[in-house]
Amino acid sequence: MKVAILASEHCMVSGVYGMLDVFSAANYCQNKRYGLDKREAIDCQIVTIDDKPVTGYNGIEIRPTATLAAMEIPDVIIATASVQVVVGCCGHDIELSHKAKIKHWLQTCQSQGTLIASSCTGSFLLASIGMLAGKTATTHWRSAELFRKVFPFIRLDCEELLIDNGDVICAGGSTSYMDLALYLVEKLLDKDSASDCAKLMVFDPVRQKQSPYGSFKAQKSHEDQAILTAQEWLERNYKKEISMDALAEQVGLGSRTFKRRFKLATGENPITYLQRIRVELAKGKLEKTTDSINNIIWSVGYEDISSFRQLFKRFTGLTPKDYRQKFTNLH
């Protein structure tokens, strides 16, 4: 099975060489389980679109291990993450060297059965060349707002760590190249080899959600002053029992108009916006204090403990207790 990792300027070096390590470890595990050379191995090569070295974001040069002309059509091509996504003219696309050449190569390979994949912000490349039209994408949670702005007609789900559309796979998050590589090991080799590889590399093979790692960032880069006023009021008064109809009246809008304009400006309806504020504050307190979970829930404006626990898990994928255990030692 032939896998090509497409490296580009300013990409994450770990995402390139890290996947090489995973595939090499998987081949080793397969040989240990079934015997040396008893099964076809994964032949993983680094390629660049012009066959020249590229410089990663950390300044390290990445040299291709194969040329495109000499390489057979690969079974899988993986577009790696760019640490800095640059938006082109008018915010309708991204700037990318050799984009036409990359598009031609990927489309030619895909037409001959190649599986196309991306890790982290590699999804911007796939979206820009039209490979995510009609599909669902994921990317790094911090880049979600930019992705939706540049590619508004592509469905984005940044809660998911990995999305398989059949012929295109997206993985989100900086270290998602490991999740993607293990997922591909299972597809190309088998589940046992993927499990052996995960154990060898001391890596959790069951990560499914990106949502525990995300942070809510209020969308305020709009010019609707009434909605900005409402956002700021909610952020100051989140502990109170809040009537959205009363808040609409307070900023001089009818209830239906308020909800419509709030959604248009922020991407959230007012109730969800308030919920996200409260959950984000609770996350901070779970990480940084030893306060009881019930006291934290009451401190962000909730009386119904059970209701908030359900809400917290819906937004983060974890219970408050599990979230605290996962992140409290990071500070």
Q: How many residues does the chain have?
A: 331
For the chain, what is the mean pLDDT? 89
What residues does 194 pair with on adjacent strands?
A: none
Distance of alpha carbon 298 from alpha carbon 320, whole angstroms: 13
Q: Under a CB-based contact definition with an 8 Å cutoff, are residues 154 and 144 in contact?
A: no
Residue-wise pLDDT for 175-212, tens only, equals 889 999 999 999 999 989 999 999 998 887 656 666 56
Contacts of 100 (CB under 8 A, 6+ apart): none
Q: Look at phi and psi of residue 219 and say left if phi exceeds 0, alpha if psi is from -120 to 50, else beta.
A: beta
User: Average pLDDT for residues 105-128, to the nearest whole number?
Assistant: 94
If one counts every other C-beta atom within 10 angstroms of the C-beta of residue 205, the result is 17
**168-171 and 162-164 as β-strands: parallel, antiparallel, unpaired?**
antiparallel
**Long-range Cβ contacts of 166-169 (<8 Å, 24+ apart):** 167/110, 167/115, 167/116, 168/115, 168/116, 168/117, 168/118, 168/126, 168/131, 168/132, 168/135, 169/115, 169/116, 169/117, 169/118
Confidence of residue 69 (pLDDT cuts 50, 70, 90): confident
Furthest CA-CA distance within the chain: 74
User: Residue 165 — pLDDT band, cuts 50, 70, 90?
Assistant: very high
The architecture of the domain spanning 225-330 is: Orthogonal Bundle (1.10)
pLDDT of residue 88: 60
The pTM score is 0.71
**Domain chopping of the chain, boundaries:** 2-213, 225-330
- Architecture per CATH, domain 2-213, reads as 3-Layer(aba) Sandwich (3.40)
